[in-house]
Amino acid sequence: MSDYPVWVNGVPEAFLPTSDRGLAYGDGLFETVRVSGGKPTLADYHWRRLQRSCEPLGIALDIERLLEEVGAFLLDNRAGDAVLKVIITRGSGGRGYNPEGCFSPRRILSLHPLPSRSRDPGLHGARVKHCQMRLGRSTLAGLKHLNRLEQVLARSEWQGNAYDEGLLCDIEGNLIEGTMSNLFVVTREGGLVTPDLTFSGVAGVCRDFIIDFARHRGIAVNEQSLSPDLEGSEVFLCNSVNGVWPVIEYEGRQWGIGSLTARIRDCVLEELNA
């Protein structure tokens, strides 16, 4: 596998035109997919979300063509264990903000090494800070669109290894998500609570998988507002590359790695290493 191979619309390409609307306006979507043994993991969740997200943006994605390109891309680059990034932009064209006439979405595939950390937060627990950056309300909440400036600014609030992740609130002060992860709390009754993402945040693939996992096993899951107090017996974060990170420290509070968190972590890890 070369360091950072990139394909654009099914062929190797190192450059994008400056007219691409993803570059000019953030006009597009992306998926970050963990690859295990050359195969995308949680693939059905990723491709369903991508298709679902294209609809409100009016991007006509040919999903079958994309999946053929993904398969060929991973095979050609002998992907092994890696991270696949899939970016879909509206392409080039239109006049200013007006996308009229843009009928050829651009499909960008790139391959990257798995994250490497000296200390594994999945095994030892994550140390988390409260970010000052607030997430705005949006009718595009839930979508993993290319406009991620809020997350960039939140992640810039710390450097070094003092924290593994930061949590963001919305403008009303409700906890929503991490800079790159979704949030779950285990209640005293043994159920799960995750923030309501109706107006802010990204509906992550790993979050969807965990909700399905829990409900199929009779574990109650509620999507509701969460205060920064984080009342619960266990707290964890998740994303589709890192899996589950139990939270052990947050703003002076501490938790152990509880049994339900460990069970979900191990299930997700098995899925990501399949």
For every residue of the chain, which 3-state class applies, written as one string?
CCCCCEEECCEECCCCCCCEHHHHHCCEEEEEEEEECCEECCHHHHHHHHHHHHHHHCCCCCHHHHHHHHHHHHHHCCCCCEEEEEEEECCECCECCECCCCCCCEEEEEEECCCCCCCCHHHHCEEEEEEEEEECCCCCCECCECCCHHHHHHHCCCCCCCCCEEEEEECCCCEEEECCCEEEEECCCCCEEEECCCCCCECCHHHHHHHHHHHHCCCCEEEECECCCCCCCEEEEEECCCEEEEEEEECCEECCCCHHHHHHHHHHHHHHCC
Rounded CA-CA distance 203/248 in Å is: 23
pLDDT of residue 63: 97
196-226 per-position pLDDT tens digit: 999 999 999 999 999 999 999 999 999 999 9
Domain segments of the chain as ranges: 6-112, 121-272
Catalytic entry in 69, 144, 165, 234: 144
Q: Alpha carbon of 195 to those of 158, 185, 201: distances in Å?
A: 24, 9, 9
Please state, for a pLDDT cut of 70, what percent of the chain lies above it.
99
Q: Which residues contact 83 (CB under 8 A, 6 or more apart)?
A: 32, 33, 34, 35, 111, 112, 113, 114, 115, 241
- Give the bridge partners for 7, in sequence order: 12, 109
pLDDT of residue 1: 42
Q: Is 139 a catalytic residue?
A: no
Helical packing angle, 43-57 and 205-216, nearest 10°: 120
Rounded CA-CA distance 87/32 in Å is: 9
Q: Is 32 a catalytic residue?
A: yes
For 121-272, CATH gives: 3.20.10.10
Q: Residue 249: which of 131, 156, 178, 163 has the closest Cα? A: 163
Q: Is the pLDDT of residue 273 over 70?
A: yes
The fold of the 6-112 domain, in CATH, is D-amino Acid Aminotransferase; Chain A, domain 1 (3.30.470)
Q: Is 198 a catalytic residue?
A: no
46-96 per-position pLDDT tens digit: 999 999 999 999 999 999 999 999 999 999 999 999 999 999 999 999 889
137-184 per-position pLDDT tens digit: 999 999 999 999 999 999 999 999 899 999 999 999 999 999 999 999
* Chain mean pLDDT for the chain: 95
Catalytic entry in 31, 69, 150, 177: 177
pLDDT of residue 3: 63
Catalytic entry in 31, 32, 165, 194: 32
Rounded CA-CA distance 127/162 in Å is: 7
pLDDT of residue 2: 45
Rounded CA-CA distance 58/226 in Å is: 32
